[in-house]
């Protein structure tokens, strides 16, 4: 099948398939901007309905138009909170949410949960552990089921983050418990915080697997344990001294924090805010565009394989993609689908 598509695409120049793919998006920017403005005035219930529609109509032009508008109007900073199961991510998320709301910031939380084997839905463990006031319009929490994805996120996580980033000051993405290689959050968040449990040996395992290259901050949780937490912090700092710098040349910072006592919580919040304020706008915009390209490649490849991703590659570098990335991706996927249907219909 992929061989047939490739022959069709390369027979005469870029081919019909590639030519259609490179044509850019067909969304209605004005309608997308109007829908985004209405969401900003509609409260949590309207946002919840919009997310539900995004999930059920993921490849609808109006969904792409809304996401294009949100992509062009980022308001908030996106923090990814990741780490092994049981490390205390949800408890730490509670502290962060309380601190941000105390400063008057509007906060959205995406809690990616393990999936029920029976229903395939989220088990909702993270959502029930994050304490929020239902009457507080300044905080929105959405649980998502990881299902069969191995990167710690759900299929809807990236589009939901794009929408929430245009409506809230801080977007906190808490991944499902990850192992030694699942660092998909690095292709989504502006700042990644990796949580490490005392006396677990995680520092060595993460260094061996390359996970240490993903986070901007490393946080030893459960500081109230005392000695074990301090030793884990020392191990982390030692591991960081041996690790290469991040691609941007920065060195991750190691901290210690407790979700049940004041130990280190203010330092963690301060470190997150310092990074948010210290990022150059141009560098941040470039990073976010690369994140969107990574999402587009993954989305196309999941549906049409490596050949589909290869045929669509040029569209991800086009001026159309910079302005309307979701509509451009939708056009690529529609062109690939139509080519397959026309070629193999009987």
Number of domains in the chain: 2
- Residues of the chain predicted below pLDDT 50: 1-14, 119-122, 126
- C-alpha to C-alpha distance for 336 and 21, rounded to whole angstroms: 8
34 and 153 in a single domain? The answer is no
Residue 113 burial (C-beta neighbours within 10 Å; 0-12, 13-18, 19+) = buried
Residue at a domain's end among 44, 73, 102:
73
231 and 84 in a single domain? The answer is yes
Tell me 169's DSSP state. S
Domain membership flag for residue 160: yes
167 and 254 in a single domain? The answer is yes
Domain membership flag for residue 265: yes
55 and 176 in a single domain? The answer is no
Whole-model pTM: value is 0.86
68 and 81 in a single domain? The answer is no
Domain membership flag for residue 68: yes
99 and 157 in a single domain? The answer is yes
Predicted pLDDT of residue 2: 43
**Strands in 146-291 per DSSP E:** 170-174, 191-196, 217-220, 253-256
Q: Name the residue with tokens 């060595």.
A: 204
CATH value at residue 82: 3.40.50.300
Domain membership flag for residue 88: yes
Q: Starting from the edge strand earliest in sequence, which strands make up the sheet with 170-174, in order?
A: 139-145, 107-113, 170-174, 77-82, 191-196, 217-220, 253-256
168 and 271 in a single domain? The answer is yes
Residue 344 burial (C-beta neighbours within 10 Å; 0-12, 13-18, 19+) = exposed
Predicted pLDDT of residue 27: 66
Q: What mean pLDDT is reported for the chain?
A: 82
Predicted pLDDT of residue 53: 94
Predicted pLDDT of residue 5: 42
199 and 259 in a single domain? The answer is yes
Domain membership flag for residue 38: yes
**Strands in 62-183 per DSSP E:** 77-82, 107-113, 139-145, 170-174
- C-alpha to C-alpha distance for 47 and 62, rounded to whole angstroms: 15
Domain membership flag for residue 264: yes
Segments forming the whole domain that contains residue 138? 76-281
Residue at a domain's end among 221, 252, 281:
281
Domain membership flag for residue 302: no
Predicted pLDDT of residue 1: 41
**Token pair belonging to 232:** 């884990």
| 270-312: pLDDT as tens digits | 999 999 998 999 999 999 999 999 999 999 998 898 888 888 8
Domain membership flag for residue 84: yes
68 and 197 in a single domain? The answer is no
Predicted pLDDT of residue 116: 52
Within 13 Å, how many C-alpha atoms sit on residue 179's CB side? 3
Predicted pLDDT of residue 81: 93
111 and 260 in a single domain? The answer is yes
Residue at a domain's end among 52, 73, 94:
73
58 and 178 in a single domain? The answer is no
- C-alpha to C-alpha distance for 316 and 330, rounded to whole angstroms: 11
* CA distances in angstroms from 305 to 2, 19, 93, 260, 329, listed in the order given: 8, 19, 36, 46, 14
92 and 149 in a single domain? The answer is yes
- C-alpha to C-alpha distance for 8 and 21, rounded to whole angstroms: 13
């Amino acid at each position: 099948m992929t061989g047939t598509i490739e022959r069709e695409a390369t027979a005469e120049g870029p081919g019909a398939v590639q030519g259609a793919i490179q044509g850019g998006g067909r969304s209605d920017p004005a309608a997308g901007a109007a829908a985004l403005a209405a969401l900003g005035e509609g409260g949590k219930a309207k946002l919840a309905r919009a997310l539900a529609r995004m999930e059920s109509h993921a490849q609808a032009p109006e969904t792409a138009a809304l996401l294009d508008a949100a992509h062009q109007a980022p308001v908030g900073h996106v923090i990814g909170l990741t780490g092994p199961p049981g490390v205390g991510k949800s408890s730490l998320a509670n502290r962060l949410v309380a601190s941000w709301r105390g400063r008057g910031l509007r906060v959205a939380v995406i809690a990616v949960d393990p999936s029920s084997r029976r229903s395939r839905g989220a088990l909702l463990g993270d959502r029930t552990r994050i304490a929020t006031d239902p009457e507080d319009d300044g905080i929105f929490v959405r649980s998502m089921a990881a299902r069969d994805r191995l990167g710690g996120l759900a299929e809807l996580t990236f589009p939901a983050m794009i929408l929430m980033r245009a409506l809230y000051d801080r977007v906190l993405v808490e991944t499902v418990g990850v192992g030694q290689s699942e660092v998909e959050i690095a292709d989504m968040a502006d700042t990644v915080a990796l949580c490490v449990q005392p006396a677990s040996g995680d520092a060595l395992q993460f260094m061996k697997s390359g996970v240490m290259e993903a986070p901007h901050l490393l946080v030893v949780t459960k500081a109230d344990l005392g000695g074990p937490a301090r030793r884990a912090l020392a191990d982390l700092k030692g591991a960081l001294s041996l690790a290469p710098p991040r691609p941007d040349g920065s060195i991750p910072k190691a901290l210690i924090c407790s979700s049940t006592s004041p130990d280190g919580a203010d330092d963690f919040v301060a470190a997150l805010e310092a990074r948010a304020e210290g990022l150059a706008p141009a560098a941040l915009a470039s990073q976010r565009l690369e994140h969107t390209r990574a999402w587009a490649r993954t989305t196309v490849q999941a549906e049409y394989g490596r050949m589909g991703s290869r045929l669509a590659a040029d569209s991800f570098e086009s001026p159309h993609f910079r302005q309307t990335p979701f509509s451009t991706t939708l056009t690529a996927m529609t062109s690939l689908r139509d080519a397959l249907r026309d070629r193999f219909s009987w």
